[in-house]
Structure 1
Amino acid sequence: MQAVFGFSGPLPDWDTNVLKHFPSAGQLTTPWRWINAGTEAFGRWLLDVRKALKDGQTVDLRGAPPEVRWVHLDGTEDHQRRLRAGLSKVEGGQGTVLIMGDSKNPPGQRLFASQTPGAVTVESVDLKDFIQFALKFRLDAPDALSQLLGFAESVMTNVGAADLQQRVTTLLAGRQRKEATETEQAAIAFEQERTFKSAVELLVEANRRPGTRQHRPTVMSACIRALNSANQDDPSSLHEAAIRAREENRFRGRPLPARGVGSTLTLKGLEADVAVILDVTEMDAKHLYVAMTRGSKMLVVCSASPQLRPVAAS
């Protein structure tokens, strides 16, 4: 029920490909994680959910224990309701939260993290968009500053890339009416120097601006490490350094954030106090089961109906 890797092709059939050669030694039926969290009834309800999903049945949240909260999506202010759900917390305000967005929409997950105070994106291990940025970014390109600011805007809130670009143009032309801020000075320095070091300094200054927050710290950290280790005289060295940074991240593993946003695939295996499911519309039984079992103290489900009907597995 946790095999959510079918996107690469058919998975082995448990009964014919596994049990035929390795007889079952029994099933675990004691929800220790929930017992240890003081929510045994919640854990045993999830065992019933597992059986229902495995048998192709619906899950009715109306009979759920008090640790389960349903957020009704009725087509009015659904996004705002999801945002409020993303701020869910256990009693006392302490504890970790995992928020599951649309698996097919990583940009939507990042947007949600940027709009949710304290939330960060739990990245896929391939860091695909960061690697693509490192492959295309060239210091001598006419739009190098625009590329760098676009990257900054993809990992931080309130960068204001377009306005900052315009201010740099105005400042370099000597038409300014007010002094340049530290971030603007760093952007000007990058335009004049075009070095990996000045690129790092611009990202650091942008991050220091009031109101700015990193919602993709894993990518930001990997980019700064790559820029610091790239060879100024080798145009392809940034891409190579980015790949090294990505592999370092794989080796280190992913720390559990206080409030993380991702997909069932990126959050599978992680455990938190609270699990929030933003939309069950496209989830099959396995994805729904993985999502529902991420939290040990609270489960928040956003859906149009309290009766959850998984889609057929693709």
Structure 2
Amino acid sequence: MSDELATKLNNCTGKGYVIAPAGFGKTHLIALAVRASSGRQLILTHTFAGVNSIKTKLTALGVPTFKYQVDTLASWSLRLCLAYPKTSGWQTENPTSKQWNKLYECCAGLLDKKFIRHVVAATYVGVYVDEYQDCSDLQHALVCALADFLPSRILGDPMQAIFDFDQGKPVDWDASVYPSFGCLGQLEIPWRWKKAGQPELGAWLKEVRTKLEQGQKIDISSGRPRSVVRVYTDPENLAKKQYASLFDFLGHSESVIALHGGDQQSKNKTHLLARTMAGRFSSIEEVEGKELHSFVKKFGTAKTVQKGFLLALDFAKKCFTGVDKALTAGTKRGEVAKQIKGTKYPSVLHAANAYLSAPTSGHLKSFFLALKANPETSTYRRDLLYRFLNVLKMHIEGEGATLSEAANLYQREMRHTGRPISHRKLIGTTLLVKGLEYDHAVILDAEALDAKDLYVAMTRGSKSLTIIGSGRYLPTR
């Protein structure tokens, strides 16, 4: 079926879409279709993690590099507009979050120009857009501008449309996709679970998707495969059950993702639970790194070394448990303190004193590393800590005149390289892990998830799924 569908995609001369459920081999399909191409294809997606995933699959299937260019929709649009600044009306090299929507409008307008279409059509013979459910309406308008003069195939899954756009709206498939793009097919085989030796889980999730799509509820008390574990709890004991369930996963080295929904309240819960687990499970940060950048900005405007150090201590407490236990009373006040006979952790004291005496990024990094190595502390937000350490490293090496500049440089670099965290036991939200795969998935407080968040959460684990909640039927929202 994949080979036949890949041929169909390659032969498409107009506008077409493929429905691709989670874990059904969408990236493999794109690679097969591109391999069959006689010219260069433009492949667009939304994240650099997605770019890397597609490139890896293309390389694995031996697709020659001259047959494709893979990029994020944002980066490709930005480069095109900057190449023709007068025509596009765009000159900003590093757009802020509020400027991207204007960029997409400029790019769509640019693609209406006859000479631009000639340039783009001379470069590519067709377009693929991956993860189409994550497109905003403005991005969709840009893709439609491309589709006016190039064969364009879009692949996605409306059941995974969970992104919350700050500005603009997510593309409405019923109103915008189905009327103007023809159906090329739908992926049918749940390869993720078949390859993991769990075909029953894959078949069950396929049925779950159909029910959720039709607005039905899932009975999780019966008819589920052995790899799906239901942990019943009343709301009062939810926290204890979550802790106990995650603790049971600590005895092996396989990857585990514990999931809340994507709302702001749930984001805060991930950090709280990671702290409760004393870092045995680590929480994942948002890609934008708002908390890190907020700290760096405040830190850069601190009027005294003492005030800056106290801000750093507050930030450290967001990364580690047990910070106060590792510090002397003087260090807690942001003062250079003397080592006495009763000083429990001289290495932390000396690192703090070094910074307070000579406030450099090198000394600040040494202080955070001393906390990390201390027996009283546990890192529960590794993602946040490692980003900060990388920012300090860049500043130490002269990349960025200020710490704030180094943070901005690091943020741009991280979009290409991915998160610096490699911990195998993680807590996150559906928004942060959509498109990613783990060995085991645990849904926390299942009743709090709507149908789409529930489906995304259910499809993250290739070997098992644990559902913690008080109800028999899901979703309840």
Q: What TM-score do the two structures reach when normalised by structure 2?
A: 0.59
| Secondary structure of 1:95's aligned partner | coil
Runs of 4+ in 1 over 4 A off after TM superposition: 169-177
Is 1:238 the counterpart of 2:403 in the alignment?
Answer: yes
CA contact (8 A) 1:264 1:290 kept: yes
1:297 corresponds in structure 2 to 463
Determine the structure 1 residue equivalent to 2:116.
Answer: none
Pairing 1:160–2:324 present: yes
2:244 is matched with 84
Q: Secondary structure at the match of 2:380?
A: coil
2: distance between equivalents of 1:211 and 1:157? 8
Q: 146-155 or 106-115: which moved more?
A: 106-115
1:207 Cα offset (Å): 0.8
Give the CA deviation at 1:107: 2.7
Q: 2:440 maps to which residue?
A: 274
> Which among 122, 131, 134 is matched to residue 284 of structure 2?
122
More deviation, 148-157/249-258? 249-258
1:57 alignment partner in structure 2: 216
> C-alpha deviations, 1:119-167, integer Å up to 9, x for none?
2222211010000000010465242221111111111222227x72624
Matched-pair contact (CA < 8 Å) for 1:100–1:277:
yes
d(CA) in 2 for partners of 1:127, 1:160: 25
2:428 is aligned with what amino acid?
G
Q: Is the 8 A contact 1:113 1:121 kept in 2?
A: yes
| Residue 2 of structure 1 pairs with residue 160 of structure 2 | yes
For residues 232 and 30 of structure 1, the distance between their equivalents in structure 2, rounded to whole angstroms, comes to 49
Mapped contact 1:102–1:109 kept (Cα < 8 A): no
Shift of 1:15: 2.9
Contiguous gaps of at least 5 residues in structure 2: 1-158
Larger of the two Rg values belongs to structure? 2
Distance in structure 2 (CA, Å) of the matches to 1:7 and 1:283: 18
What is the deviation of 1:96?
0.9
Aligned counterparts of 1:236 and 1:166: Cα–Cα separation in 2: 33
Q: 2:466 is paired with a residue of what secondary structure?
A: strand
Q: Provide closer, same or farther for how the CA distance between residues 174 and 244 of structure 1 changes in structure 2, counting only shifts above 3 A.
A: closer
**TM-superposed deviation, 1:245:** 1.4
Q: Determine if contact 2:193/2:201 at 8 Å carries over to the other structure.
A: yes
Counterpart for residue 232 of structure 2: 72
| Partner of residue 193, structure 2 | 34
Between stretches 286-295 and 243-252, larger displacement belongs to 243-252
Q: Cα–Cα, structure 1 residues 33 and 146, in superposed 2: closer, same or farther, change >3 Å?
A: same
Does residue 1:148 correspond to 2:309, yes or no? no
The alignment partner of 2:322 has SS state of coil
SS of corresponding position for 1:78 = helix
**Native 8 Å contact 2:337 2:349 kept in 1:** no
The Cα of 1:89 is off from its aligned counterpart by 3.7
Where 1:124 maps in the other structure, the secondary structure is coil
* Higher RCO (Cα < 8 Å, 6 or more apart): 1
Instruction: Show the counterpart of 1:262.
Output: 428
User: Is 1:217–2:377 an aligned residue pair?
Assistant: no
- Runs of 5+ in structure 1 lacking a partner? none
Aligned mates of 2:321, 2:295 — CA distance in 1 = 18
How far apart, CA to CA, are the structure 2 residues paired with 1:268 and 1:87? 24
Greater helix fraction, Structure 1 or Structure 2: 2
Q: CA deviation at 1:185?
A: 1.6
Tell me, what secondary structure is at the counterpart of 1:230? helix
Letter in 2 for 1:3: A
Identity over the aligned pairs, expressed in percent?
A: 31
In structure 2, the CA distance between the partners of 1:4 and 1:301, relative to structure 1 (3 Å rule), is same
Deviations 1:61-111 (A, max 9, x none): 112111111112213332111112223449x83421111124323232112
Secondary structure of 2:235's partner? Answer: coil
Q: Could you give the per-residue CA deviations for residues 249-296 of structure 1, whole angstroms, max 9, x where no partner exists? A: 111024664111110000101101111111123322111100010011
Change (3 A) 1:172 1:15: closer
